[in-house]
Amino acid sequence: MRFLTLLFTLSAFNWLLAQIPSHDARNLHSNGTNTDFSAEVYRAWPPAGPLASWEKRKSDLRHQILLAAGLDPMPPRTPLNPRISGRIDGDGFTVDKVWLETMPGYFLAGNLYRPKGQRGPFPGIVSPHGHWTNGRAEQTELGNIPARAVSLAQHGFVVFNYDMVGYSDSKQTPHVFGNPTEQLWSFGPLGLQLWNSIRVVDFLESLPEVDKTKLGATGASGGGTQTFLLTAVDDRIRASAPVNMVSAIMQGGSPCENAPGLRVDTYNVEIASLMAPRPMLLVSATGDWTKNVPRDEFKRVQGIYEKYDHKSDVEVVQIDAPHNYNQASREAVYDFFARKLQGAQSGWKEGTIRKFELNELLIGSLPDGAIDYPRIFANWREQAAGQSEGMTTEALRDRLRRTIGAVWPEKVEAETAAGELIVMTRPDVGDRIPGRWFPGSGKAVLVVHPAGSAAAEQERFVQRLIAQGRSVLLIDAYQTAANRAPREEAGKYYSTFQRTDDARRVQDILTAMRWLQLAGYKDADLQGIDAGQIWAAFAAAVGPSLKTSLPKEYRGTDEDLLRDFFVPGIQRAGGVETLRRLLQ
């Protein structure tokens, strides 16, 4: 009852605390796939400042994308062992069926379209498809994937159309997966698709008829997402045309576009801008979520190109149609690639292209040596563990810090009221961390209890420290005790756009430790209780010169972390083995 009275008193004092927010900003608004990023703070984007500042942001975003995809560090580039068969001899082109072994025992299927009767070397085009019913073999008015490859091949391009995971021939995994355990290891369709796209670039580079200095990428819808994610992390793509997907009002509706952590503090327009200053064509439609692109998103992206003095290297076209990659959209892309990769003014129109039977393009059975879904996941885990063993301490710390999304704050403000009550905030964030502060003499200690500061105060060792006159800080970490509050959750991909509760609890611990430091307690102790021990240990591992202990018996299995510390990618980042190494 005494605690509730003090908490009520603190609420009454809040109106006096101008710099302390009355509510935690982390609860007030959650971004989601249908958030309008053209509004509010995003109106100020692209960011002001010199090119060097953008280059730093660009590097950070690349790390963020690769972490979300489970590709930091990259898996080893094992032999692709291409298996090519089933040639179709067409009018000015050929088509082959291809298997690529993008990881040992894991295969990607596609069709390789090549010019016939022309002399190379030729530009190469990476060509992912979107969520069409027939995948890479879709042949409808709104989206004809073979038609764009045939037309490009007839005009001197080598094109590889390839499957999304779980589509057409590539069914060693489903298309929709990524349960909480898999998320701990950053194992999901977005990462596998991005890795497949990187390996497709490797494959095109290996073909003697392809000019590896003239590689392009294009796809629509989910294939548009694959296109700008690939170009964001792979500079080998020299020209790109993401179609009907670079939008400020819709960010993608599939798990293959929404890995946890992908869009924390960012969105597709900024991710697509990582293409700068390489040439890019934004293709949009009047009848979908890219309807505003010519007057809004395009100008934002162009602002980044202007930083490089390459304003003319980003272009826009809008087609009066519903969501599509139709003939008009394709012809705009043909013209763009001809100019940027062939140095030619094309203006060509798509001719009549015959319809293929599905069995002409699809392969059917998997190659010998193909492994099943559980084995793919097991290999992913084993490979991740092996990579962590070979990393330096600082590299492990940096990866863990990025995975959690924790920062050591520059500034922390605090106000006390009604005796021992305290509220802390990072003023540039607007978060709110209540707790109890017992100032004393000697070395300070921060105690973190999963049930909050009132529960921590009941612990005997805490009462003993207070009785001894030690300086003791107790906090209600994010969404615990007095810090529990209603919050908005926009859509089903919450962790794509926001950090998890446990990640935010680590941040609250760092914020509180920083406040102690700024208040003159330079060498404070950190003590966690129960699950708070795990939060505190991860905070100490990523914070500067912080020390705490982790129970020797704590194994850090998937089940342990699902219960005590759910942060997507935490096992991929080394988990408890890395934690123990960093706490030594």
The answer to whether position 41 is within a domain reads no
Same domain, yes or no: 417 and 564 = yes
The answer to whether position 236 is within a domain reads yes
Same domain, yes or no: 500 and 479 = yes
Around Cβ 370, how many Cβ atoms within 10 Å? Answer: 16
Across residues 445-463, what is the average pLDDT?
A: 97
Tokens for 340? 């940027």
The answer to whether position 95 is within a domain reads yes
- Residue 41: pLDDT over 80: no
d(CA 143, CA 403) in angstroms, rounded, equals 37
Same domain, yes or no: 315 and 403 = no
Same domain, yes or no: 356 and 459 = no
Same domain, yes or no: 531 and 448 = yes
The answer to whether the CB of 240 falls within 8 A of the CB of 216 is yes
Across residues 295-311, what is the average pLDDT?
A: 96
Same domain, yes or no: 403 and 382 = no
pLDDT category of residue 43 using cuts at 50, 70 and 90: low
Asked which of 331, 359, 386 is the last residue of a domain, the reply is 386
Same domain, yes or no: 329 and 366 = yes
Same domain, yes or no: 205 and 336 = yes
The answer to whether position 423 is within a domain reads yes
Asked which of 356, 386, 416 is the last residue of a domain, the reply is 386
The answer to whether position 252 is within a domain reads yes
The answer to whether position 285 is within a domain reads yes
- Residue 231: pLDDT over 90: yes
pLDDT category of residue 97 using cuts at 50, 70 and 90: very high
d(CA 509, CA 529) in angstroms, rounded, equals 13
Q: SS3 of 391, please?
A: coil
Same domain, yes or no: 462 and 379 = no
Whichever domain contains 446, its CATH number is 3.40.50
d(CA 78, CA 401) in angstroms, rounded, equals 29
The pLDDT value recorded for residue 15 is: 36
- Closest C-alpha to 370, from 98, 48, 108: 108
Task: Please count the structural domains in the chain.
Answer: 2
- Residue 13: pLDDT over 60: no
- By CB atoms closer than 10 A (0-12, 13-18, 19+), residue 119 is exposed
pTM: 0.94
The dihedrals phi and psi of 220, each to the nearest 5 degrees, come to: -115, 155
d(CA 96, CA 161) in angstroms, rounded, equals 10
Same domain, yes or no: 177 and 261 = yes
Whichever domain contains 258, its CATH number is 3.40.50.1820
The answer to whether position 47 is within a domain reads no
Same domain, yes or no: 364 and 434 = no
Asked which of 357, 386, 415 is the last residue of a domain, the reply is 386
The answer to whether position 49 is within a domain reads no
Determine which helix (DSSP H) or strand (DSSP E) holds 124, and give its type and residue range. strand 122-128
- Residue 345: pLDDT over 90: no
Same domain, yes or no: 331 and 428 = no
- Residue 266: pLDDT over 80: yes
* Domain region containing 114: 67-386
Angle 350-229-304 from CA coordinates, rounded to 5°: 90
